[in-house]
Amino acid sequence: MSASLDKVTQTLKEVIDAPIASYFDSCVHCGLCAEACLFYTETGDPKYTPIHKVEPLRRVYEQEYTLLGRLMKMVGLSKPITDEELGEWQELVYDSCTLCGRCSMVCPVGNDIVYMVRKFREGMAVSGHVPDGIRGATKRTVEIGGPMGLKWPAVANVLRKAEEATGVTIPVDKEGADYLVLLSSMEIVNYPEYIEALAKIFHKAGISFTLASDAFEATNAGIQIGASDLAKVIVTRIVDAAERLKVKYVLSPECGHAYMAIRWEGPNLIGRPFGFKVVHVLELLDQLRQEGVLKMKGMFKDPLILHDPCQIVRRGGVLQAPEALIRQVAENYIPIADQQKWNWCCGGGGGASAIHTEEAEALRAKAFGVKKRQIEEAGVGTMVTFCANCRITIEEALDHYEMNTKLLGLTELLAEHLED
Amino acid sequence: MQGPLIDTLARQGVTRRTFLKYCATLASMMALPPSAGRAMAEAMAAARRPSVIWLPFQECTGCTESITRSHSPTLEGMIFDMISLDYQVTIMAAAGHQAEEALRNAMLENDGKYLLVVDGSIPMGDPGYGTHGGHSFVDHLQQAAKGAAAIIAVGTCASYGGIPKANPNPTGAVSVSDIIKDKPIVNIPGCPPIPVVMTGVLAHYLTFGSLPELDAKGRPKAFFGETIHDRCYRRPFYDQGKFAKTFDDEGARRGWCLFELGCKGPVTYNACATVKWNGGTSWPVESGHGCLGCSEPDFWDAGGFYKALSVPADPLKLAAAAAVVGAGAGVAVSFANRAKKGAAKKAHQPITLADLEK
Amino acid sequence: MNDLQFLTWVRGTGLDIAVGIFLLGVLWRLIEIYTLGRKKDLAAPRHAAGASGLHTVFRRSLPPPGMLKRSPVSYIGGYIFHIGLAVIVFLGAPHILLITNLTGLSWPGLPTQFIDLVTVVTMAAMVVMLVDRINKPVKRFLSTFEDWFTWAVTFLPVLTGWLAVQHLLLPYTTMLALHILSAEILLVVLPFTKLFHAFTLFGSRWYNGSANARKGVPV
Amino acid sequence: MSLDAIPIHVITPPAGEPGLTGNAPPLLRELAEQVKRLLETGESSAIDLSALPLTPTDLDWLHEKLGAGEIAVTLQASGESTLNETACPGIWWVTHRNEQGAVTSQFIEVAFVPELVKAHPQDVAIGLENLELMISDL
């Protein structure tokens, strides 16, 4: 056994727990999870069946933690996992799984398959069989501060421009503020309007907030690649900043997996509960709406549909806010059949959008078929979402299919129609 | 007393029509076509009485009682009288050397033609367990079987070993067919067997000169073709799920199915439910008791007369111990697993960026 | 060994061994699985109506929206054969008697004719499920020897029970003995194959349900 | 002691309860064939009713359909037997009972005269002997 393979089993032995054992022992190979996976429904290739994506993990579980599996391994009836095998599985674990969690919703025996994939990624990460794109993003986040290699001066520059555009001061490293605002590099680079919108809304609501110059980045590639130790390094920066600035709340940006990383994984990564609350921006906005602070002027007229990002809604639990907010601003909001926790993934979550191999991109385009149908069936020209990563993925796909669907961010849409 | 059967019957005051009526009923019981009744009557009327040698071994005389001791002189009994029973130690007048002489004569005179009837099982454990005139039962059987045209094993003991063979089978009891392999053998099991089955087999032999069709256990299909359960008048209650739970409950009084009280009707092939006993008066299930399965091999050791077929034949002995062993194994594995997981955690080395490279 | 001896063996020693291995296996496997432990979730929980482990245990028995249409055979066939098996095992008079004998619990059964009908329907559903497993690319792809084996092990008790009651193929006594034997084989293999989902599915649904309930998502 | 004193009563379904299996109607066709054969070749035949899966209701139905004819023969021979002509001449309903009165077998016979009714030549010969003996004694 090579050193790295040894490390893989060692890591998997650490992460395999009672739920995983129960899940593997419950699976009856009914194949229903495939019907919930867009990579299967759009390609028809059975290898994309979710439970198959964790097959090596099952073998390790059986060989390490079940008596029969140990015996079978001893007499050679059960073969240990190999490096080549893990290499084969890289595509299944990263390229064709966005951790969207739809399979976990349909499994009749109740298996949380995406939970298993996350754990399996821990082993994959140390095996080195990880996509270059996600590896690079992780590296940049750990070494430089963000997945795109963005440094503070560049961010400060964007903030200054936002201040100019809105006429609202954006405090930095201000102790005692209510909210510590996190951003994602994607927003800073591609959608600076988000920052402007947020500044306007905070100003309007009279809520104090701040940014931290050493912890502006919310995204956590360590979570996506499956390296908890690195994810911990990344999330610790935010926790340190929040505690230093003594904020009450940390505001997660629209970005889906950033919310997952800070809200749900964060305390588990650092090994203690947070002394502050983590709030998703839509949760805050919905609260302001309910308080009557979020008043709109003029409604958005074009018919539109909503794309619910998996990590915020299905896996994040922000279930009601998005629809309530869109109804606040859109006159012709059309609910789609599979919405909210049943929505279909854009195809780029879980780090997939960072993989830029030809095959991965082709697969992603194919997987977008389900979203394409949703847009076409609704017959709308506009789609609204609230995740920077979804936006990137969808925009790429819209280009690919030469669709002229307009894609908007929910926070910006709200900000645009905010009563002055 | 040689001569056509009908003449003998006539002398006893049995009219031809009575005989015809009996043959029609017998044919019906044996599931033969109605025309066979007439053929049977004609053949039997003209038949010469065959010589029959009856050997009793490890038996209780219940079979003989069943066949000879009817309440009124029945036709079965009469037909039985009409065979030339040349040796039946229980009921013959002769005894000792005289009886043995009769046996030798009958075997010599009718060599190759006599019917050999056997009741009782044969002890193989020690020849001394059963002897006649200084010869062991097994010797007797082998001697008598040599010249027999066919053998009729009467009762469950002769057919399958029966109660003497019951666990732990102290005498090493075996059935006739365990010893004799080269002669046609008809088994008429039952403890005791139904008399009409015996006469039916004789009638068939007299009529057609052959033995009736047999099932895999050597029994005449005509009488043993269906289970007690299938022919039972209480069967509808089984199908409706109505069962007597005790022998004196409402269900028992209403005549519901006795399955739960251990009735072996479902696995017992016999004609009791249709032919009945004591001149058609009743039969065990009708009298309120489940079938014991007495016409089946090893019925004595089939898990108890009062235990339903679907419940364990013996109390579960291993289960509790197995549960403890299972729990023990589980706990042992869980300790090993926890140690393994603990060791993996202890040996954990923080993952660095370098680890992500191949 | 004649048929009655065979029947007596399966009713006696055979059953004892089978129930023993079953209990041994179930306890061992349950302990093996559920003592592996899991980390406490340190994230502050969110609460939502209808979100809990218990909710999911029950909710997962119903097809999620749209899934019935996507895989009708799996759902309808699955329902029929699972409910059919439950009806046969728990409402067939001879089976109740066995349960009563082993546990002391008792309840009324259903008429034989009805159980007969359920049995035929159950077998038909199981055959359809098998054909589906052969035909459907995903199912065929996932299938290992264990899947075919466990199908057969589950099907045989139903088939032999039906054949016994209908007096087909073999004499009742032999068929009944084969029926009991096949059920014993099922008991023996259950803890060590995917059939163990009969036990673990409750744990799995509960884990999934409670983990997601902490996030406020009813799954 | 009469059996009624024993508190065990078998509940038998009330008469008229539907119990028709549908096995009886084909028997009528079978009988028609047999009657045709009787007319054409003189060959008599019979159907053994106890060998067929017929319920008491089926038998009642058959009995009713065939009806009652002009002749009813009663035979006393270790129990009573009745050989009754049905409304279809040539078809006889034959029931044999034992001494206890229980039905032992039941047939439908197709014949000009049931076999059992006819006197056997040997018996007739014996009768003649007796008759001649009587005459010689006159």
Q: Where exactly are the structural domains of chain B?
A: 50-224, 228-301, 319-348
CA distance B314 to chain C (A): 5
The A406-409 sheet, strands edge to edge? A304-307, A382-385, A406-409
* Percentage, residues of chain C above pLDDT 90: 87
- Minimum CA–CA partner of B336 in chain A: A65
Which bin fits A292, alpha (ψ -120 to 50), beta or left (φ > 0)?
Answer: left
Question: Do residue A125 and residue A176 come from a single domain?
Answer: no
- Apex CA D135: angle with CA D130 and CA D138, to 5°? 130
Q: Which chains touch C (3 or more CB pairs under 8 A)?
A: A, B
Q: Which of A29, A34, A317 is nearest residue C217 as measured by Cβ atoms?
A: A317
Q: How many CB pairs (< 8 A) connect A and B? A: 55
Residue C118 contacts residue C165 (beta carbons within 8 Å)? no
Taking the C-alpha atoms of residue B303 and residue A187, their distance in angstroms, rounded to an integer, is 79
Residue A16 scores a pLDDT above 90: yes
Window C:15-34, CB contacts with A under 8 Å = 28-29, 32-34
Q: Quick check: B21 and D96 CB within 8 A?
A: yes
pLDDT digits (tens, 9 = 90+) for A352-376: 999 999 999 999 999 999 999 999 9
Q: Which of A67, A68, A319 is nearest residue C217 as measured by Cβ atoms?
A: A319
Q: Tell me, what CATH number does A28's domain have?
A: 1.10.1060
Question: Cβ contacts of residue B168 below 8 Å, gap of 6+?
Answer: none
Q: Is D107 on the interface with B (CB under 8 A)?
A: yes
Q: Quick check: B334 and C32 CB within 8 A?
A: yes
Q: How confident is the model at residue C102 (pLDDT cuts 50, 70, 90)?
A: confident
CA distance A208 to chain C (A): 23
pLDDT digits (tens, 9 = 90+) for B335-355: 999 999 999 999 888 888 888
Question: Do residue A139 and residue A273 come from a single domain?
Answer: yes
The pLDDT score that the predictor gives to residue B71 is 44
How far is CA B264 from its chain centroid?
13
Q: How confident is the model at residue A72 (pLDDT cuts 50, 70, 90)?
A: very high
Q: Quick check: B254 and D9 CB within 8 A?
A: yes
Q: Quick check: B21 and D51 CB within 8 A?
A: no
Residue C125 tokens, joined: 């559903």
- Minimum CA–CA partner of B333 in chain A: A67
pLDDT digits (tens, 9 = 90+) for B284-343: 998 999 999 999 999 988 888 999 988 888 888 888 899 999 999 999 999 999 999 999
The predicted model gives A373-397 an average pLDDT of 94
Residue D101 tokens, joined: 């009165």
DSSP B136: E
* Percentage, residues of chain A above pLDDT 70: 99
The predicted model gives A254-262 an average pLDDT of 93
Residues from chain A that touch B357, judged by Cβ atoms under 8 A, are 128, 135
Q: Quick check: A64 and B340 CB within 8 A?
A: yes
Question: Could you report how far apart the first and last alpha carbons of chain A are, in Å?
Answer: 66
Which is higher by pLDDT, A145 or C138? C138
Q: Is B35 on the interface with D (CB under 8 A)?
A: yes
Q: Is B38 on the interface with D (CB under 8 A)?
A: yes
Q: Which of A23, A40, A106 is nearest residue C64 as measured by Cβ atoms?
A: A106
Q: Tell me, what CATH number does A176's domain have?
A: 3.40.50
The pLDDT score that the predictor gives to residue B1 is 40
CB burial of residue C134 (10 Å; 0-12, 13-18, 19+): exposed
CA distance C34 to chain A (A): 5
The predicted model gives C27-52 an average pLDDT of 94
Q: Is A21 on the interface with B (CB under 8 A)?
A: no
Helix (H) or strand (E) run with residue B37 in it:
helix B34-46
pLDDT digits (tens, 9 = 90+) for D72-121: 999 988 789 999 999 999 999 999 988 778 788 889 999 999 988 888 88
Question: Do residue A227 and residue A324 come from a single domain?
Answer: no
Q: Quick check: A125 and B355 CB within 8 A?
A: yes
The predicted model gives B91-119 an average pLDDT of 88
Q: Quick check: C219 and A267 CB within 8 A?
A: no
Kindly report the average pLDDT of chain D as a whole number: 83
The pLDDT score that the predictor gives to residue B80 is 63
Q: Is C153 on the interface with B (CB under 8 A)?
A: no
Between the alpha carbon of residue A212 and those of residues A89, A137, C171, D120, the distances in Å are 39, 21, 84, 126
Residue A103 tokens, joined: 């399979």
Q: Point out which residues pair with B148 in neighbouring strands.
A: B114
Residue A2 scores a pLDDT above 70: no
Q: Is D41 on the interface with B (CB under 8 A)?
A: no
Q: Is D23 on the interface with B (CB under 8 A)?
A: no
Q: Which of C66, C204, C211 is nearest residue A109 as measured by Cβ atoms?
A: C204
Chain C interface test: which of A26, A65, A263 (most C C-beta within 10 Å): A26
Q: Is C170 on the interface with B (CB under 8 A)?
A: no
How far is CA D117 from its chain centroid?
11
pLDDT digits (tens, 9 = 90+) for C161-219: 999 998 899 988 999 999 999 999 999 999 999 999 999 999 999 999 999 999 999 99
Residue B11 scores a pLDDT above 80: no
Q: How confident is the model at residue D3 (pLDDT cuts 50, 70, 90)?
A: low
CATH superfamily, domain B228-301, is Cytochrome-c3 hydrogenase, C-terminal domain (4.10.480.10)
The pLDDT score that the predictor gives to residue A298 is 84
Q: Quick check: C142 and A273 CB within 8 A?
A: no
Q: Which residue range(s) make up the domain with A240?
A: 135-288
Q: Quick check: C204 and A22 CB within 8 A?
A: yes
The pLDDT score that the predictor gives to residue B40 is 80
Tell me the CATH architecture of domain D21-137.
2-Layer Sandwich (3.30)
Taking the C-alpha atoms of residue C187 and residue C192, their distance in angstroms, rounded to an integer, is 10
Residue A224 contacts residue A350 (beta carbons within 8 Å)? yes
The pLDDT score that the predictor gives to residue A248 is 96
- Minimum CA–CA partner of C214 in chain A: A317
What is the number of other CB atoms lying within 10 angstroms of the CB of residue D112? 12
Residue C172 contacts residue B266 (beta carbons within 8 Å)? yes
Residue A134 scores a pLDDT above 50: yes
Residue A334 scores a pLDDT above 60: yes
The pLDDT score that the predictor gives to residue B3 is 60
Query: Nearest CA to A90 among A119, A124, A40?
Result: A124
Q: Is D57 on the interface with B (CB under 8 A)?
A: no
Q: Is D75 on the interface with B (CB under 8 A)?
A: yes
Which bin fits A212, alpha (ψ -120 to 50), beta or left (φ > 0)?
Answer: beta
Q: Is A200 on the interface with B (CB under 8 A)?
A: no
Per the structure, how many domains does chain A have? 3
Domain boundary among A65, A96, A129: A129
Q: What share of chain C is helix, strand, coil (3-state, %, to 5)?
A: 75, 0, 20
Interchain touch A–D (≥3 Cβ pairs closer than 8 Å): no
Residue A323 scores a pLDDT above 70: yes
Window B:196-235, CB contacts with A under 8 Å = none
Residues from chain A that touch C61, judged by Cβ atoms under 8 A, are 108
The predicted model gives B182-208 an average pLDDT of 88
Relative orientation angle of helices C197-214 and A18-26, to the nearest 10 degrees? 130
Q: Which of C38, C43, C201 is nearest residue A18 as measured by Cβ atoms?
A: C38
Residue A277 tokens, joined: 């609350």
Residue holding tokens 């908007």?
A408
CB burial of residue C204 (10 Å; 0-12, 13-18, 19+): buried
pLDDT digits (tens, 9 = 90+) for C143-165: 999 999 999 999 999 999 999 99
Q: Map out the domains of chain D as residue ranges.
A: 21-137
Question: Could you report how far apart the first and last alpha carbons of chain D are, in Å?
Answer: 54
Residue B31 contacts residue B222 (beta carbons within 8 Å)? yes
Question: Do residue A161 and residue A96 come from a single domain?
Answer: no
Question: Could you report how far apart the first and last alpha carbons of chain B are, in Å?
Answer: 108
Q: Which of B24, B38, B233 is nearest residue D96 as measured by Cβ atoms?
A: B24
Residue A296 contacts residue A330 (beta carbons within 8 Å)? no
Phi, psi of B332 (to 5 degrees): -60, -45
Question: Do residue A175 and residue A83 come from a single domain?
Answer: no
The pLDDT score that the predictor gives to residue B132 is 84
Domain boundary among A235, A262, A288: A288
Residues from chain B that touch C102, judged by Cβ atoms under 8 A, are 312, 316
Residues from chain B that touch D50, judged by Cβ atoms under 8 A, are 28
The pLDDT score that the predictor gives to residue B69 is 61
Q: Quick check: B25 and D51 CB within 8 A?
A: no
Q: How confident is the model at residue D14 (pLDDT cuts 50, 70, 90)?
A: very low
The pLDDT score that the predictor gives to residue B6 is 75
Q: Quick check: C20 and B238 CB within 8 A?
A: no
Q: How confident is the model at residue D8 (pLDDT cuts 50, 70, 90)?
A: low
Question: Do residue A351 and residue A407 come from a single domain?
Answer: yes
- Apex CA B191: angle with CA B190 and CA B192, to 5°? 85
What is the number of other CB atoms lying within 10 angstroms of the CB of residue C69? 10
DSSP B110: T
Question: Do residue A12 and residue A99 come from a single domain?
Answer: yes
Q: Tell me, what CATH number does A410's domain have?
A: 3.40.50.1860
Q: Quick check: A110 and C205 CB within 8 A?
A: yes
Kindly report the average pLDDT of chain A as a whole number: 93
Tell me the CATH architecture of domain B50-224.
3-Layer(aba) Sandwich (3.40)
Q: How confident is the model at residue B39 (pLDDT cuts 50, 70, 90)?
A: confident
Q: Quick check: B319 and C8 CB within 8 A?
A: no
Question: Do residue A278 and residue A147 come from a single domain?
Answer: yes
Residue A116 scores a pLDDT above 90: yes
Q: What share of chain A is helix, strand, coil (3-state, %, to 5)?
A: 55, 10, 35
Domain boundary among A97, A129, A161: A129
